[in-house]
């Protein structure tokens, strides 16, 4: 029996379907172009399986409701685009501090402010690294094709429960509204890969949800199950009770980093396309990678050996592999639908500043000819 199936759908719809298949039982949000189809589809699907989807009065209330559902122990999500993330920022910081699992789908559009609501952009990459103030380690994945709108959303739910924090899934207007056939895992295969979040089963008086090892996430039992603890955005001790004790505060923030940094091998994912014999390397992600692949195929026919490195996990970045590639290739080109937000990370990881860039911020996607022309200039 095949572990995959074929479906004709759009990226936004696939993200919604993936959420339900992955065990999501609550959606809290507010419609915002170009992400609205995620909410439309999931609001039809969740009630059929006993879940709930609610349109709140605004984006802030939407994420607050989703976080509340996460506190109750269910898999939960919200979806929006860049302006919505800006509004959700404070509550996203609360979820980071309280360590509440949450999936956040951001279908990127042109910005800043209202920008280009119906046009494509990759302008929220830097925002996804630090959507709220303070110190924490963000986890962000980015779909590069229709199938990944499904598979990366599924993976995001597993990562959220594993690391007990918000996980961002970046789509963009092009890939969110793209409609075609995709090969995705079966529901049975997805459910077989679900690992429930950890819980504490000892005596209630011994329960310290945040009293864990320095490289481990909190262990939060669902509310209303007999275990008492505190949820607070303040620095807190093992029980969640607010504190300003010096060493406790230091260890808390250090742990929010270490629980991610020490397990990047579980989080990182990337694609390498025709890299082995390439003489020029292109770094790109998301929907831009589709044009890059087509350009590479055309350039190869003309005898130009080009390859692509595509980070699927943007944060934490695949810095080790990028550093290796940076030593291998003399010519590296970064391609983004922004002014170069990920270029800075590529430069840092590769340890060099001589990386060429191709950017576009007018709301239109790249064509293969855009990339071919730039490669020929190199």
pLDDT digits (tens, 9 = 90+) for 239-261: 999 999 999 999 999 999 999 99
Residues of the chain with pLDDT > 90, as a percent, come to 98
**CB burial of residue 14 (10 Å; 0-12, 13-18, 19+):** buried
Query: Which residues touch 50 (CB under 8 Å, ≥6 apart)?
Result: 25
Q: Do 14 and 38 form a contact (C-beta atoms < 8 A)?
A: no
Residue 100 has pLDDT above 80, yes or no: yes
Give the pLDDT confidence score for residue 97 in this predicted structure.
Answer: 98
Q: How confident is the model at residue 2 (pLDDT cuts 50, 70, 90)?
A: confident
Tell me the DSSP string of 122-137. -TTHHHHH-SSSSS--
pLDDT digits (tens, 9 = 90+) for 5-62: 999 999 999 999 999 999 999 999 999 999 999 999 999 999 999 999 999 999 999 9
Per-residue pLDDT, averaged over 159-183, amounts to 98
CB atoms within 10 A of CB 75: 24
Give the pLDDT confidence score for residue 14 in this predicted structure.
Answer: 98
Phi/psi at 262 (nearest 5 deg)? -80, -5
Give the pLDDT confidence score for residue 1 in this predicted structure.
Answer: 57
Residue 346 has pLDDT above 60, yes or no: yes
Residue length, the chain? 378
Per-residue pLDDT, averaged over 189-202, amounts to 95
Q: How confident is the model at residue 183 (pLDDT cuts 50, 70, 90)?
A: very high
* Helix extents (H) in 198-340: 246-261, 264-267, 288-301, 319-328
Give the pLDDT confidence score for residue 171 in this predicted structure.
Answer: 98
Q: Which residues pair with 282 in a beta bridge?
A: 308, 333
Structure tokens at 270: 């990337």
Per-residue pLDDT, averaged over 198-212, amounts to 96
Residue 376 has pLDDT above 80, yes or no: yes
Structure tokens at 349: 């990881």
Say how far apart CA 159 and CA 195 lie, in whole Å: 10
Per-residue pLDDT, averaged over 213-232, amounts to 95
CB atoms within 10 A of CB 316: 18
The structural domains of the chain, ordered by start, are 4-192 (3.40.50.970), 270-377 (3.40.50.920)
Give the pLDDT confidence score for residue 215 in this predicted structure.
Answer: 98
Prediction pTM value: 0.97
Per-residue pLDDT, averaged over 136-159, amounts to 98
Q: Do 342 and 95 form a contact (C-beta atoms < 8 A)?
A: no
Average pLDDT, the chain: 97
Q: Do 310 and 322 form a contact (C-beta atoms < 8 A)?
A: no
pLDDT digits (tens, 9 = 90+) for 293-331: 999 999 999 999 999 999 999 999 999 999 999 999 999
């Amino acid at each position: 029996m095949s572990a995959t199936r074929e479906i004709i759908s759009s990226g936004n719809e696939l993200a919604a379907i993936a959420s339900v298949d992955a065990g999501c039982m609550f959606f809290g949000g507010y419609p915002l172009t170009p992400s609205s189809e995620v909410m439309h589809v999931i609001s039809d699907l969740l009630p059929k399986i006993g879940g709930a989807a609610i349109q709140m009065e605004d984006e802030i209330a939407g994420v607050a409701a989703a976080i509340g559902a996460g506190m109750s122990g269910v898999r939960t999500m919200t979806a929006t685009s860049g302006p919505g993330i800006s509004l959700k920022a404070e509550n996203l910081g609360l979820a980071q501090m309280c360590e509440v699992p949450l999936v956040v789908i951001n279908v990127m559009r042109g910005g800043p402010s209202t920008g280009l609501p119906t046009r494509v952009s990759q302008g929220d990459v830097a925002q996804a690294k630090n959507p709220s103030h303070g110190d924490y380690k963000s986890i962000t994945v980015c779909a590069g094709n229709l199938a990944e709108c499904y598979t990366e959303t599924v993976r995001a739910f597993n990562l959220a429960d594993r690391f007990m924090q918000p996980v961002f899934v970046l789509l963009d207007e092009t890939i969110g509204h793209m409609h075609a056939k995709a090969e995705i895992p079966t529901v049975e295969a997805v459910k077989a890969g679900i690992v429930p979040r950890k819980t504490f089963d000892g005596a209630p008086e011994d329960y310290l949800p945040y009293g864990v090892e320095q490289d481990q996430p909190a262990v939060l039992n669902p509310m209303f199950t007999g275990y008492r603890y505190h949820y607070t955005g303040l620095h807190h001790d093992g029980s969640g009770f607010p504190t300003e004790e010096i060493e406790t505060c230091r260890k808390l923030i250090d742990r929010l980093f270490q629980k991610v940094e020490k397990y990047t091998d579980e989080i990182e994912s990337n694609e390498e396309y025709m890299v082995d014999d390439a003489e020029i390397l292109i770094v790109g992600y998301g929907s831009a990678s589709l044009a890059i692949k087509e350009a590479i195929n055309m350039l190869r026919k003309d005898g130009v050996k080009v390859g692509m490195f595509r980070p699927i996990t943007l944060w934490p970045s695949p810095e080790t592999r990028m550093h290796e590639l940076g030593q291998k290739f003399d010519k590296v080109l970064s391609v983004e639908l922004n002014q170069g937000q990920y270029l800075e990370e590529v430069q840092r990881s590769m340890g060099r500043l001589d990386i060429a860039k191709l950017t576009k911020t007018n709301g239109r996607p790249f064509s293969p000819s855009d990339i071919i022309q730039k490669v020929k200039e190199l």
